[in-house]
Each structure stands twice: as structure tokens, then as C-alpha cells.
């Protein structure tokens, strides 16, 4: 899966998880806080990403995630290291 596919998939599930949020306003630089996500929403989002991409986030590293790009980059890195 390439970067664009990962980004699209991440944006799609974020837009389905956040009420009244149009996927068109989400991009890699979107901050969770700006999307209306609190810390519990963000944790749930990471669980969803784990299920969707079949990976596990390192909990210490995930604590520092603040944007959509952080999730996308982690998935890219994880997929590259497991290939």
C-alpha cells in the first residue's frame, strides 16, 4: 500500500468517526484537536487504525501523535520495516 492509499484510508475512517466532519477538510497536516478529537477519541482512532491496517502502535510513540500525518507516517514506517 502506498502513501496516498494509506493517507486516504486514514482520512476515511477519521471522517466516519467524527460526527459532521467532511473528509475533504482532513489532510495529513490536520491536528486531532482541530478536528474536534479529545484524547479518548484519539485513542479510539488508533485502535481503529490498528484493526484497519493490521498493525500495533507502540504506546510510548503514540502518546506523541498530534496529527493525521503522525498516524500515516507510523503506518508507512511500520509497513516498510515489515516488508
Dump pLDDT digits (tens) for 32-54. 999 988 888 888 889 888 888 88
Residues 12-35: tens digit of each pLDDT: 888 887 888 889 999 999 999 999
Predicted TM-score (pTM) above 0.75:
yes
Domain holding 51, by residue range, is 3-82
**CATH number of the domain that residue 75 is part of:** 1.10.1200.10
Q: What are the catalytic residues?
A: 38
Element (H, E) at 82: helix 68-82
Domain count, the chain: 1
Judge residue 16's burial from the number of C-beta atoms within 10 Å of its C-beta, 0-12 exposed, 13-18 middle, 19 or more buried: exposed
Amino acid at each position: 500500500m502506498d502513501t496516498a492509499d494509506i493517507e486516504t484510508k486514514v482520512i476515511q475512517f477519521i471522517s466516519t468517526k467524527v460526527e459532521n466532519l467532511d473528509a475533504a477538510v482532513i489532510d495529513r497536516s490536520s491536528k486531532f484537536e482541530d478536528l474536534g478529537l479529545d484524547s479518548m477519541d484519539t485513542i479510539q482512532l488508533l485502535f481503529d487504525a490498528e484493526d484497519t491496517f493490521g498493525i500495533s502502535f507502540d504506546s510510548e510513540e503514540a502518546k506523541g501523535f498530534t496529527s493525521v500525518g503522525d498516524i500515516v507516517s507510523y503506518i508507512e514506517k511500520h509497513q516498510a520495516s515489515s516488508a
